[in-house]
């Protein structure tokens, strides 16, 4: 991301994040990942929704996830092998979801960085509620089930910089929406339990 793009998105990132060959966005549905990803050149952004649409004509079709992930992985490995930056736009809230991305980085000798979006749960829920449900005849819509979103948020709240480095990330930061864009935490620790959703 260029400095101009960084300023345009209201997010100023440390060099270890900006220079990583693989940047993994992590955040619950509605956290703002895709909006933020638009700060990078479109060709660098590998969006799971976009791959779902490529393979099934429907970005929301959860039944297309396995095929979409396979296609995304193929492009990811090809780009990383060619030393081309990749920004992975998917929720990536579980360790398993991140492990294969790190394996692709490892296999290609690429440094991987994590950018955790810590948008408050209430904001994610409000944005999700405004999204359309399934179109007639479709099983899935842009709105995700609330319990799924709460689970994703809880997983994101528990992430730490040290934990992400243990997983294999060379660098990890967390960003929280602030009055003027995003406030970046260079050494993320778990969110206080008061910010976590009720069970």
Query: Where along the sequence are the contacts to Mg ion (CB under 5 A)?
Result: 33-34
Does position 34 interact with ligand ATP (CB under 6 A)? The reply is yes
Asked if 58 and 138 touch (Cβ cutoff 8 Å), the reply is yes
- Residue 32 binding: pick among ligand ATP, Mg ion, none (C-beta 5-8 Å cut-off by kind): ligand ATP
Does position 59 interact with ligand ATP (CB under 6 A)? The reply is no
Among residue numbers 63 through 122, which ones bind ligand ATP (CB under 6 A)?
91
Q: List the one residue out of 66, 14, 75 whose CA is nearest residue 46.
A: 75
Element (H, E) at 177: strand 171-178
Q: Residue 57 is encoded by which pair of tokens? A: 């004509």
Element (H, E) at 35: helix 33-37
Question: Least distance to ligand ATP from the beta carbon of 167, Å?
Answer: 20
Q: What is the distance between the alpha carbons of residues 26 and 10, in angstroms, rounded to a whole number?
A: 18
Starting at the edge strand that comes first in sequence, how are the strands of the sheet with 45-47 ordered?
45-47, 86-89, 22-26, 112-117, 171-178, 181-185
Among residue numbers 151 through 170, which ones bind ligand ATP (CB under 6 A)?
none
Closer CB to Mg ion, residue 92 or residue 170? Answer: 92
Q: Residue 31 is encoded by which pair of tokens? A: 């956290």
- Residue 31 binding: pick among ligand ATP, Mg ion, none (C-beta 5-8 Å cut-off by kind): ligand ATP
Closer CB to ligand ATP, residue 35 or residue 78? Answer: 35
The residue from 120, 168, 177, 197 that contacts ligand ATP (CB under 6 A) is: 177
Closer CB to ligand ATP, residue 113 or residue 144? Answer: 144
Asked if 111 and 21 touch (Cβ cutoff 8 Å), the reply is yes
Q: What is the distance between the alpha carbons of residues 84 and 71, in angstroms, rounded to a whole number?
A: 17
Name the residue whose CB lies closest to Mg ion: 34
Question: Least distance to ligand ATP from the beta carbon of 174, Å?
Answer: 14
The residue from 11, 23, 26, 27 that contacts ligand ATP (CB under 6 A) is: 27
The site for ligand ATP (CB under 6 A) is made up of 27, 29-35, 49, 91, 127, 177
């Amino acid at each position: 991301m260029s400095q101009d793009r960084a300023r345009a998105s209201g997010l100023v990132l440390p060099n270890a994040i900006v220079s990583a060959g693989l940047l993994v966005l992590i955040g619950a549905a509605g956290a703002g990942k895709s909006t933020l990803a638009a700060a990078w050149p479109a060709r660098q952004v590998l969006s799971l929704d976009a791959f779902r649409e490529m393979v099934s004509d429907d970005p929301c079709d959860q039944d297309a996830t396995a095929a979409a992930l396979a296609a995304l992985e193929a492009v990811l490995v090809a780009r990383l092998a060619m030393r081309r930056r990749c920004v992975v736009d998917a929720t990536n809230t579980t360790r398993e979801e991140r492990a294969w991305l790190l394996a692709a980085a490892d296999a290609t000798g690429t440094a991987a960085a994590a950018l955790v979006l810590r948008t408050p749960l209430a904001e994610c829920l409000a944005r999700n509620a405004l999204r359309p449900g399934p179109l007639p005849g479709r099983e899935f819509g842009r709105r995700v089930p609330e319990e799924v979103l709460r689970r994703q948020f809880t997983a994101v709240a528990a992430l730490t910089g040290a934990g992400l480095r243990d997983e294999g990330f060379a660098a990890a930061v967390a960003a929280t929406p602030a009055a003027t864009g995003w406030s970046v935490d260079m050494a993320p620790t778990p969110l206080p339990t008061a910010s976590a959703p009720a069970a």
